[in-house]
C-alpha cells in the first residue's frame, strides 16, 4: 500500500526572518519500512524557537537540509511498525518533522500515555522544549526558592507561560512577565497568574522593573536577549541568577548576535548568568514530568494553545512564532490525534 506524504521542505536557507518562498509544499510517497522502523501519522507539531536555528548552514541543533523536511517535535500515532515495542495505535512523541507521515527508527520515539493528559500536553505542559525546559530552568538552574522575585521574558510564549507559573508554584513571592503588547500583558496576569506584566513595546522596561521590584530581582529567566536582557541587567542585585534559556530576538541573524552590553553589571553586583538546555538535565525528566502532570491535571498549571491547522501552515506558524503573534503553545495540527 502506498501513502501520500504531504510535507513542507526547505527550498533555500532564509536570510533574516524566514519568508514563504524559503519553503515548499510537496507530496512525496511514504517509503517501505525497514527493520526497526515505524511509520507515524503526525497528529500535532510543536512550533519551537529552536526550529529557526536549524535552518542555518551551521546550526546549533541538527540542521534542516535543502529539499528536506524541517526538524520539529511532534506527537502522533503509529500506523505501521517493524520495531519491537511499538504497535499500530500507540501514541508517540519524537522528532516527527514537517510532514504528515514520519518514517524513522522506533528507538527515536517515545511511547506516551494519553490517559491522564491529552497528546498535545506532551508538547506543551509536559513538553521537552516547553514545560520540562521551564521546569529544569527554574528548579535546577535558577533554583527558585520561597520569596524570590522572578522575572520572565517572552512570558506569554510557551516556555515563558510555563516558567512564570512554575516559579509561582515553587513559592516565588512576585513573578513579573515581560511581553509585547497590552493583550499579552493582560493574558499574563489574568490567565497565567503573573503578579505583574511589563509591555516591552510600550513601557520602559528598566524603570518599570525598578518600580515593580524596588529591591531588585532574584531571578531573570530570559528567552529573548537583546534590549530586554540589557534592560533587566540594569536591575540585578548581588546574588541575582540570570538564566539564559533562549534569545529569540537574535535567531533571525545568528551570524551577528548582539551580546548583552550591560554584562559588566554581573561584576559590579556579583551576579551570575547561567545558560542551559533541557538535555543537560536528563536526570530530572521523570521528576519534572510527574510534577508537571500533577499540577496540570489538578488545574494549578494551565497551558493555552494556539493551533494552526494543516501541515501546509507550518511556514506561517513559524512566522507567527518569530513575530510573537501567539500566546501559549503554538501548534500545527496535521491529523486528528
Q: How far is the CB of 90 from a second copy (least distance, A)?
A: 33
**280 scored as a contact of a second copy (CB under 8 A):** yes
Select the residue interacting with a second copy from 234, 266, 302, 307 (CB under 8 A): 266
Nearer to a second copy, 140 or 168 (CB): 140
Number of residues interacting with a second copy: please give it, by CB under 8 A.
Answer: 32
Sequence-separated (6 or more) residues with CB below 8 Å from residue 218? 144, 148, 149, 150, 172, 239, 240, 241
Residue written as cell 518533522? 97
| Among 267, 282, 286, 298, contact with a second copy (rule: CB under 8 A) | 267
Binds a second copy (CB under 8 A): choice among 63, 275, 304, 325:
275
Considering the rule CB under 8 A, would residue 268 count as an interface residue with a second copy?
Answer: yes
Applying CB under 8 A, does 151 fall inside the site for a second copy? no
Q: Does residue 271 bind a second copy (CB under 8 A)?
A: yes
Give the shortest CB-212-to-a second copy separation in angstroms.
Answer: 24
Residue 265 is a binding residue for a second copy (CB under 8 A): yes
Return d(Cα 290, Cα 89) in angstroms, integer.
Answer: 24
Interface segment toward a second copy; rule CB under 8 A; list 12-20, 70-78, 261-269, 300-308 = 261-269
110 touches a second copy by CB under 8 A: no
Residue from 56, 63, 263, 302 binding a second copy (CB under 8 A): 263
Per CB under 8 A, 257 contacts a second copy: yes
Residue 196: in which H helix or E strand, if any? Answer: strand 196-199
The grid cell for 145 is 526558592
Q: What gap in Å lies between CA 9 and CA 189, rounded to an integer? A: 38
Q: Is residue 195 classed as helix, strand or coil in its secondary structure? A: coil
Q: Which three cell numbers stand for residue 189?
A: 496576569
Q: Which residues pair with 76 in a beta bridge?
A: 42, 92
Cα(203)–Cα(179) distance, integer angstroms: 10
Kindly state the DSSP code that residue 140 receives in the 8-state scheme: I
Q: In angstroms, how far apart are the furthest CA atoms of the chain?
A: 67
Task: Give the footprint of a second copy on residues 177-236 (CB under 8 A).
Answer: 225, 230
226 C-beta neighbours (distance < 10 Å), count: 19
199 with 181: CB under 8 angstroms? yes
H helix or E strand, kind and range, residue 202:
none
Provide, rounded to whole angstroms, the least separation between the CB of residue 109 and a second copy: 25
**Which of 155/242 has CB closer to a second copy?**
242
Task: Give yes or no for residue 253 binding a second copy (CB under 8 A).
Answer: no
- Give the per-residue contact string, 23-62, with a second copy (x = CB under 8 A; - = no): -------------------------------------x--
Residue from 111, 143, 269, 306 touching a second copy (CB under 8 A): that is: 269
Q: Is the dihedral of CA 66, 72, 75, 78 positive or negative?
A: positive
128, 149, 244, 330: residue in contact with a second copy (rule CB under 8 A) = 244
Rounded alpha-carbon distances, angstroms, from residue 63 to 7, 28, 50, 308, 330: 17, 21, 10, 24, 21
User: Which chain residues interact with a second copy by CB under 8 A?
Assistant: 60, 225, 230, 238, 244-247, 250, 256-277, 280
Amino acid at each position: 500500500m502506498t501513502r501520500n506524504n504531504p510535507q513542507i521542505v526547505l527550498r533555500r536557507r532564509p536570510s533574516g526572518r524566514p519568508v514563504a518562498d524559503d519553503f515548499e509544499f510537496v507530496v512525496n510517497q511514504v517509503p517501505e519500512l525497514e527493520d526497526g522502523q515505524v511509520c507515524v501519522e503526525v497528529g500535532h507539531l510543536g512550533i519551537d524557537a529552536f526550529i529557526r536555528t536549524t535552518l542555518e548552514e551551521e546550526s546549533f541543533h541538527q540542521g534542516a537540509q535543502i529539499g528536506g523536511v524541517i526538524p520539529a517535535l511532534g506527537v502522533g500515532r503509529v500506523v505501521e511498525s517493524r520495531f519491537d515495542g511499538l504497535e499500530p495505535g500507540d501514541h508517540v512523541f519524537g522528532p516527527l518533522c514537517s510532514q504528515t507521515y514520519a518514517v524513522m527508527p522506533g528507538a527515536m520515539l517515545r511511547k506516551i500515555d494519553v490517559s491522564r493528559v491529552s497528546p498535545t500536553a506532551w508538547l506543551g505542559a509536559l513538553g521537552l522544549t516547553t514545560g520540562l525546559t521551564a521546569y529544569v530552568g527554574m528548579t535546577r538552574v535558577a533554583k527558585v526558592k520561597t520569596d524570590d522575585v522572578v522575572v520572565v521574558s517572552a512570558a506569554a510564549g510557551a516556555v515563558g507561560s510555563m516558567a512564570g507559573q512554575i516559579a509561582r508554584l515553587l513559592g516565588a513571592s512576585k513573578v513579573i512577565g515581560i511581553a509585547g503588547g497590552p493583550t499579552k500583558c493582560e493574558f499574563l496576569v489574568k490567565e497565567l497568574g503573573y503578579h505583574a506584566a511589563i509591555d516591552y513595546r510600550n513601557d520602559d522596561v528598566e524603570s518599570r522593573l525598578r518600580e515593580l521590584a524596588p529591591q531588585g530581582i532574584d531571578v531573570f529567566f530570559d528567552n529573548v536577549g537583546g534590549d530586554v536582557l540589557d534592560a533587566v541587567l540594569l536591575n540585578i542585585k548581588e546574588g541575582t541568577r540570570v538564566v539564559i534559556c533562549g534569545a529569540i530576538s537574535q535567531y533571525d541573524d545568528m551570524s551577528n548576535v548582539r551580546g548583552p552590553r550591560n554584562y559588566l553589571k554581573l561584576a559590579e553586583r556579583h551576579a551570575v548568568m547561567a545558560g542551559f538546555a533541557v538535555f543537560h538535565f536528563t536526570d530530572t525528566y521523570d521528576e519534572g514530568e510527574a510534577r508537571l502532570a500533577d499540577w496540570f491535571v489538578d488545574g494549578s498549571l494551565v497551558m493555552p494553545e494556539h493551533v494552526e491547522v494543516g501541515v501546509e501552515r507550518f511556514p506561517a506558524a513559524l512566522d507567527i512564532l518569530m513575530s510573537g503573534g501567539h500566546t501559549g503553545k503554538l501548534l500545527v495540527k496535521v491529523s486528528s490525534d
